[in-house]
Amino acid sequence: MTGRRVTGLIGLGVLAFSWLGPLPELANQSFSAHMLMHVLVIAVAAPLIAVGLGAIGLDIDHRFGWLGSPVFASLLELVVVWAWHTPALHHVARTQGSLMALEQASYLLVGLLIWLAALGGPHQDRSRVAAGIAGLLLTSMHMTLLGVLLAGADRALFAHATAPWFGLSVLQDQQVGGVIMLVFGGVAYLAGALYLLSILLRDKSHVTPLT
């Protein structure tokens, strides 16, 4: 079994823990638990699974054209992530199981889309790698901005029916969720962009990422 496939299996393990472990139940009480489940899916499981899918030569740019471009994928992810973090949609996703499933599925879908678009197929030219860098940097920026807004808020934006975990107030719990978004969301996409940049700088014509 190749390293890429092992990486993909690890990603599936992270996804299984996120959805089948204690986080879904904790998310009913805690915004930070909900955020942890979110970022594990979109910023940890999705890139690892995307690497695994790269082992079979999946290249969504060649299959879907501009719909598989990293910048388009980043903009789509921005819409999905920010929409689910509006108070109204967050509340229904937290309190209704079917809508939480829809929320989590949409996170996985857009997460896979951006990472597959950015990492590309078995071979990429410099323009594809540069587009991947742009898409991941854009995603890192809007994830960081959302994290800052949540961590720096001076009032609770999301209501909870019961007390959050670890004795935190609702506001403190929300601020912890913002920090989780910063650490996992912003950093993961920035790290991906820096990885692609390192490939671009050391290759003169064509690149083969994730070898």
d(CA 95, CA 100): 8
Q: Which residues of the chain, if any, have pLDDT below 50? A: 211
Contact of 87 with 81, CB cutoff 8 Å? no
| Angle at the Cα of 175 from the Cα atoms of 169 and 180, rounded to 5 degrees | 125
At 203 the pLDDT is 66
Nearest of 37, 188, 9 to residue 105 by alpha carbon = 37
Rg (C-alpha) for the chain, rounded Å, is 17
At 85 the pLDDT is 93
At 40 the pLDDT is 96
Nearest of 20, 57, 56 to residue 41 by alpha carbon = 20
d(CA 179, CA 20): 24
